[in-house]
Amino acid sequence: MLVQIPDVLTPEQVREVRRIIDAGEWVDGNMTSGAQAARAKRNQQLDEKSATTAKAQGIIYDALQQSPGFISAVLPLKVYPPLFNRYQGGESFGNHVDNAIRPLPGKEDRIRTDVSTTLFLCEPDEYEGGELLIDDTYGTHSVKLPAGHAVIYPSTSLHRVAAVTEGARVASFFWTQSMVRDDTQRALLYELDQSIQSLYQTQPDAPEIVRLTGIYHNLIRQWAEV
């Protein structure tokens, strides 16, 4: 399931995150790459162990907890601390699939990467190229969103970032272990939740809302791992 989530960050939050990270220390993006990705990856990342990164991560964490769209689509159990990357001067990231398991920084715990997220931190007209290209059974999806908007997609997806030929593409990216491992089940729950919310907006007293909400939560009971 590929879902675009608008306004995860407000314009003010985008400006604050950019103010923080633009002044930070940027290093070779392969600092966090596996062997496969390192062969295809040419970009820069903010040093993930720095205080600058931690400050920007806090803003995004808080925003995710306030984003109904993200919660509905992802059903998060564990979120990997958001990372930050920058592409410029022809940099790109070739075809790859994200690692299935990642150790959580500073902890003994690990995260299973069910859902990948890219949160855009600059406007599309600030750079040329840089599209996130995601392959699925329906073809290739090209994603280039306004600042503050995010896209989520299964971490099993083959994907890539096209070369940035002008300007700079700045984004945050991270992975989530969902309470519901199966992407098809998550998609069904998301569509059901969106239908409930739509019905509530037009017919808030409809008895079907209670019935459908019960079905939604009972499906989560059947499928969730917590």
Q: d(Cα 41, Cα 27) in Å, to the nearest integer?
A: 13
CB 115 within 8 Å of CB 55: no
The verdict on whether residue 211 carries a ligand-binding annotation is: no
The verdict on whether residue 98 carries a ligand-binding annotation is: yes
140: tokens are 């290739």
Task: Give how many domains the chain has, as a whole number.
Answer: 2
- Mean pLDDT value of segment 194-208: 95
4: tokens are 């675009």
The verdict on whether residue 62 carries a ligand-binding annotation is: no
Task: Let me know whether 174 and 187 are in one domain.
Answer: no
Task: Let me know whether 116 and 191 are in one domain.
Answer: no
pLDDT, one tens digit per residue, over 136-163 is: 999 999 999 999 999 999 999 999 999 9
Percent of the chain beyond pLDDT 70? 96
Three-state SS for 183?
A: helix
Task: Let me know whether 119 and 45 are in one domain.
Answer: yes
Task: Let me know whether 12 and 124 are in one domain.
Answer: yes
Q: CATH code at 218?
A: 4.10.860
Task: Let me know whether 155 and 215 are in one domain.
Answer: no
pLDDT value for 192? 98
Nearest to residue 17, comparing CAs of 166, 170, 174?
170
The verdict on whether residue 96 carries a ligand-binding annotation is: yes
pLDDT value for 164? 98
Range of 203's domain? Answer: 183-223
Q: CATH code at 163?
A: 2.60.120.620
pLDDT value for 33? 57
pLDDT value for 170? 98
pLDDT value for 34? 58
pLDDT value for 106? 84
Task: Let me know whether 122 and 213 are in one domain.
Answer: no
Distance of CA 92 to the CA centre of its chain: 18
Mean pLDDT of the chain: 95
